Every structure is written in structure tokens, then in C-alpha cells.
């Protein structure tokens, strides 16, 4: 027996609400046949023993204890370094319920395929049972799950990313319901790798990968794919959004939720540091979360949001003192790094960090500069507690969540789309989110610079048909609702010389300030068919210099270009067939007519 092994919690299964959990664990054990079973309690002693075990077998490598105390490096298998969307399925009885936005498989086929892979896969290994809570442990907005895995690396990461252990098990016992997640690293064979979701059964099965998004089942699998389905059923929203608080010099804080596809500066915005002039005036930015947002209408008609995660699973490359000083401070201790390079004195390193030279690449080989390949994997990561962030907000633990004043959608568009515009109402805002597009970057597979639509940044993560998802969003506009204003931003507009026209980073606060002043009725705007755009004088641009081209493109409106854009949006919406809500079609047609 493994020295960590212990029996299931001492409960009378016949009378306990844990009966269903105990029965499922026994069923999984019979299928996977582990050498031992360990129920995780989330304690420091348990974590210390797991870390020691992983150091001994090489799963974790201790980093420089002076510069990065209690921090470790993990190296993935080279074929297991990212999410695998083409191997990710949503299993619903009817294919239309999964929608054209998901790969689909009938539930019976999905279970049969996965159970054949799981058969005997944990022989010689320990089976870990991880009870966890997504969100503050006592929040009515939170939801619990249990992940069964044979990876101690997953246990260590889930302890950081969720509220894991005894308190979560106690809540599961009280409520009697939980999302079931079964995971095994298997043989790490790309040909035997699948991630299956069964929304109607609140079940996830993942085999053949140890990578974060495929293996930390509380993250994208539960908190987005399964939770989006739960949210539709229960009247709330599970979204791929950061949450930040913007405090003005008067001490008033407004909360903003924002959705961006990958490589569009989500974590940077969540941890934004105001420009010097704003800091002197007393402006502050508070970080609630950098990736996932669950929102529910409150008794007062406003939307209240929690961050269901307890940590950050952030992309390392590009994180620097210039781009995100708060993130850099966050990961100086008690951090798990995955697939980064290391320097000669065993410090973590990645491209964009600083001018030092790496000694060992992410595969564990001496770094060869002559090959011109990155030393750190482009998708290398850090896992760290959110509480270590200098801008972390105590409100992140508020059981009721924070009231959302504004929802922001954004993408990477070199042309056409101005710096910021405001939707005229909720239906228009839902269309803005549904039509949102971004140009692909080197971080994505395929051609670079291709514009792809990624509704609400949920394309890889919505657990059901996008047409039904848009209908669900529209359903929140009802009598008594006090919904957030919706905006769209584009930090990435370029000039004719190919350079960015907007400075970005901390200066993005200038745009957030305008949004909040639109919410409170203190800022002006010009009405256009695509929405309300600020005049240059409506934004605080003190200290910034704009030429005529920058003014025209950041604050202007290209009618012919938008006419073509809305024709494209109409074709995109038509692709979802008769389930597409008529209100969204009407909104697209209304704007098209105005543009004509």
C-alpha cells in the first residue's frame, strides 16, 4: 500500500449522502484496478508527502530555493503540452443539442470508448479521490465536484486551483450532488487520448493526457463545458471571463467582466497597474479572477459574479516586468511551473522574461541557441494561488459575489474595429459577443492572422449548441433586470506602418474609466450604427499623442467596412440553422439596414 493511502471517509454509506460518491469510487476502482486508493483531504501534510514523492521520482524538480522558495518545475511528455480540441467531445442523446460548435458522440458510444481505455489502467498506481469546490466554499453560486485521477501532479495543481479537500467533501455530503470527473494519464499516447463530456449526467472522462486543461478537470471541463450546461438549466451564466474591480479616487468600486480569446491580454488586464497619473490620483485595480466567471441575477436584478477558481494557471511566455509586473510578483514563491526553461542557477525562464540566457530547455536538454527554437514551450504555464497576487481582492471570497457594472468583449483585430464601442442595449450586446472575432496568433495552430469568430471567447468551451447559448443570454433581459452595459474593445488596431496605434497595458485603464462613466452617465459618446463610440475628448488621453491616422482609426467608423462585416456576421449566424434566436437575426438585420 502507498504510504499516502487511506480508506474512504468513515461514514455509514447506507444512511449518508456520500453513498452515491462511495458507490462511484468503488465502481471506478473495480474498473481501473489501482494498487491503492487515497482520499485527498487538502492538508499541508498530505501535500508535503505528495511533493516529496514527486521529487523522488522526478515528476517535480525543485527550483532555486533562494529566488523561488517552495517552487517546482514539471516537464510534460513532449506530445502532451496543450488542449486537444479535436479529441474533445460533448456527448448528448441528440446531436443538435451539442451543436455545430462541438464534436459530438452518442453517450453510450462515449462511455464504451472511454471505459475500454480505463480498463485496468491504474494497475501499479495509486488512485486519488479529490473532492473540490469551484468557488468560495460557502457561496450559493459555487458548485462541487470530485475528480478521480492517478496523477499526483494533478492533485498538487487541483489543490492550488480549487478549494480542495475536507471542506468540499463536507459540502458534498450536505448537498448530495457533485460533478463526476474520471482522469488517467494512461500511456500518454496521443492515439489513445480523449476528453469526453456528458452534460446531462454531469460527468467528465479524460484519458491519455497529463496537461492542465485536459487533466485538471475542475478547470475548462467542469467550470465551463459542464457548468455552461448547468447554468442554462439553472438560470445563470458560466463564462470564459476575467473579473476585475476598478476603484476610483472617491473609493467607489465598479466590477467588470471581460471575455477575450487567447493571446489578447486577459491576465494582463485582470492584474492591470494604473498609469502613474492615475495612481497618484488614487485609482486602483483589484483582481477577482483572470479566466472564468460565474454570474447569477441577484434579488436587486443585477448580475453577481464569482471566480470559481482559487488560482491562476497562466501562460508564462511574454509575462515580464513590463507586460505584467503583478503576475511576476505572484509567482516568486509557492508556484508549480510546467514546461519552462531554467537558467544556469536553476531559476525558471521563458521567452520575454528578461535578457538572461537559459541553460536547459523545456525538454530537459542543454539549450542550443543555434537551432533558433524556443527554450520554454510557447504554452508553458505557472500554477499559483490567486491570494499571492498583489492586486488580489478580498471580495474574491465574498459568498454573494460582486455586482457587475460592465461586460466587455474583445479580440485581436488589426483593422476595421475601433478602440472601444458601447452596445445600445442587451440584445445588441449579445450580438456583439456572438459575432466577436479575433485574428489567430502563433499560439494557435494553423495560419497566422486569419480572422475567426469566437463567440464570447467560448468557442472551445460551450457545452451545448451555441444557438441555444445565445438564446440563454437573451433570456436575462426581463422586467426588473438591471443588466450590465456591454462594450467591445480592440487594443490591437494597427496603422498603415503595421505598428499598434494604442499603447495598451496600463493605459487600457483610460478605456475602462470611460466605460464606467458611461454606466454612471458621466461621459459622452457619438451614436453610430455599430454602437456608441467615444469622441477623443470623452477619454482621458492626457500624456498620449495621437496623429490623424490614430484618431481616425481608433475613434472612427468605416461604414463600407462595417457593411461587409455585418454581411459576414449574417452568414455566420445562418450557419446555426433554425435554432438561432430570431431576436439576434433581427438585430443583425437592423444594423445592416442602418449601415445601408
Q: pLDDT tens digits for 123-171?
A: 999 999 999 999 999 999 999 999 999 999 999 999 999 999 999 999 9
Are 440 and 535 in a shared domain? yes
- Please state the three-class secondary structure of 8-45 as a single string: CCCCCCCCCCCHHHHHHHHHHHHHHCCCEEEECCCCHH
In a domain, 12, yes or no: no
CATH number for the domain spanning 111: value is 3.40.449.10
Beta bridge partners of residue 333, listed in sequence order: none
Q: What is the DSSP string of 157-192?
A: HHHHHSEESHHHHHHHHHH---EEEEEE-TT--GGG
Q: Is 494 helix (H, G, I), strand (E, B) or coil?
A: strand
pTM of the predicted model as reported, rounded to 2 decimal places:
0.96
349-376 pLDDT, tens per residue?
999 999 999 999 999 999 998 999 999 9
Are 298 and 334 in a shared domain? no
**pLDDT of 10 higher than 80:** no
Running DSSP on this structure, what letter comes out for residue 219? Answer: I
Q: Is-catalytic flag, 389? A: no
* Cβ proximity of 274 and 509 under 8 Å: yes
Are 442 and 575 in a shared domain? yes
In a domain, 475, yes or no: yes
Q: Which of 40, 221, 264, 293 is catalytic?
A: 264
Residue 531 lies in domain = 239-310+394-595
In a domain, 225, yes or no: yes
Are 400 and 468 in a shared domain? yes
CA distance 499 to 346: 36
**Burial of residue 156 (number of CB atoms within 10 Å: 0-12, 13-18, 19+):** buried
Are 95 and 226 in a shared domain? yes
In a domain, 99, yes or no: yes
**pLDDT of 425 higher than 90:** yes
459-508 pLDDT, tens per residue?
999 999 999 999 999 999 999 999 999 999 999 999 999 999 999 999 99
Helices 466-474 and 582-595 cross at an angle (nearest 10°) of 80
- Percentage of the chain beyond pLDDT 70 is 96
CATH number for the domain spanning 444: value is 3.90.228.20
Amino acid at each position: 500500500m502507498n504510504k499516502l493511502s487511506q480508506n474512504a471517509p468513515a461514514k455509514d454509506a447506507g444512511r449518508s449522502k456520500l453513498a452515491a460518491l462511495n458507490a462511484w469510487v468503488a465502481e471506478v476502482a473495480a474498473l481501473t484496478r489501482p494498487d491503492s486508493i487515497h482520499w485527498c483531504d487538502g492538508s499541508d501534510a498530505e501535500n508535503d508527502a505528495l511533493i516529496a514523492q514527486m521529487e523522488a521520482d522526478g515528476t517535480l524538480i525543485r527550483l532555486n530555493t533562494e529566488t523561488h522558495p517552495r517552487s517546482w518545475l514539471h516537464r510534460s511528455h513532449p506530445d502532451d503540452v496543450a488542449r486537444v480540441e479535436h479529441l474533445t467531445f460533448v456527448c448528448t442523446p441528440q446531436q443538435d443539442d451539442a451543436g455545430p460548435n462541438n464534436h459530438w458522440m452518442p453517450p453510450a458510444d462515449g462511455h464504451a470508448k472511454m471505459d475500454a481505455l480505463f480498463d485496468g489502467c491504474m494497475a501499479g498506481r495509486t488512485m486519488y479521490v479529490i473532492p473540490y469546490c469551484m468557488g468560495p466554499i460557502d457561496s450559493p453560486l459555487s458548485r462541487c465536484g470530485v475528480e478521480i485521477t492517478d496523477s499526483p501532479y494533478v492533485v498538487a495543481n487541483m489543490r492550488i486551483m480549487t478549494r480542495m479537500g475536507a471542506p468540499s467533501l463536507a459540502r458534498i455530503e450536505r448537498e448530495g450532488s457533485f460533478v463526476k470527473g474520471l482522469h488517467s494519464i494512461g500511456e500518454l499516447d496521443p492515439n489513445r487520448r480523449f476528453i469526453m463530456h456528458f452534460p446531462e449526467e454531469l460527468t467528465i472522462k479524460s484519458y491519455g493526457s497529463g496537461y492542465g486543461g485536459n487533466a485538471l478537470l475542475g478547470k475548462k471541463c467542469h467550470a465551463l463545458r459542464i457548468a455552461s450546461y448547468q447554468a442554462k438549466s439553472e438560470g445563470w451564466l458560466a463564462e470564459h471571463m476575467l473579473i476585475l474591480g476598478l476603484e476610483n479616487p472617491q473609493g467607489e468600486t465598479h466590477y467588470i467582466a471581460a471575455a477575450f480569446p487567447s493571446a489578447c491580454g486577459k491576465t494582463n488586464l485582470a492584474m492591470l497597474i494604473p498609469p502613474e497619473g492615475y495612481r497618484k490620483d488614487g485609482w486602483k485595480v483589484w483582481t477577482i479572477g483572470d479566466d472564468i466567471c460565474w454570474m447569477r441575477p441577484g434579488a436587486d436584478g443585477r448580475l453577481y459574479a464569482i471566480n470559481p477558481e482559487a488560482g491562476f494557471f497562466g501562460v508564462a511566455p511574454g509575462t515580464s516586468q513590463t507586460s505584467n509586473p503583478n503576475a511576476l510578483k505572484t509567482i516568486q514563491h509557492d508556484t508549480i511551473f510546467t514546461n519552462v526553461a531554467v537558467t544556469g542557477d536553476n531559476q525558471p525562464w521563458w521567452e520575454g522574461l528578461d535578457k538572461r540566457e537559459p541553460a536547459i530547455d523545456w525538454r530537459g536538454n542543454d539549450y542550443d541557441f543555434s537551432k533558433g527554437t524556443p527554450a520554454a514551450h510557447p504554452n508553458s504555464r505557472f500554477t499559483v494561488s490567486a491570494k499571492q497576487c498583489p492586486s488580489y481582492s478580498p471580495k474574491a471570497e465574498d459568498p454573494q459575489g460582486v455586482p457587475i457594472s460592465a461586460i466587455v468583449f474583445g479580440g485581436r483585430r488589426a483593422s476595421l474595429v475601433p478602440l472601444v464601442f458601447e452596445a445600445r442595449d442587451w440584445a445588441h450586446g449579445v450580438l456583439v459577443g456572438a459575432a466577436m472575432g479575433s485574428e489567430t496568433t502563433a499560439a494557435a495552430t494553423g495560419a497566422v492572422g486569419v480572422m475567426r469568430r469566437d463567440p464570447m471567447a467560448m468557442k472551445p468551451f460551450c457545452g451545448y449548441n451555441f444557438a441555444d447559448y445565445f438564446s440563454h443570454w437573451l433570456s436575462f433581459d426581463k422586467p426588473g433586470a438591471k443588466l450590465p452595459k456591454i462594450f467591445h474593445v480592440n487594443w490591437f488596431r494597427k496603422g498603415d506602418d503595421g505598428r499598434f496605434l494604442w499603447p495598451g497595458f496600463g493605459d487600457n485603464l483610460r478605456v475602462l474609466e470611460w466605460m464606467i462613466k458611461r454606466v454612471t452617465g458621466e461621459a459622452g459618446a457619438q451614436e453610430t450604427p455599430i454602437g456608441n463610440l467615444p469622441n477623443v475628448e470623452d477619454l482621458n488621453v492626457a500624456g498620449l499623442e495621437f496623429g490623424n491616422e490614430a484618431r481616425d482609426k481608433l475613434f472612427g467608423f468605416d461604414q463600407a467596412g462595417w457593411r461587409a462585416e455585418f454581411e459576414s456576421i449574417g452568414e455566420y449566424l445562418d450557419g446555426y440553422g433554425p435554432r438561432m434566436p430570431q431576436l439576434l437575426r433581427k438585430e443583425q438585420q437592423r444594423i445592416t439596414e442602418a449601415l445601408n
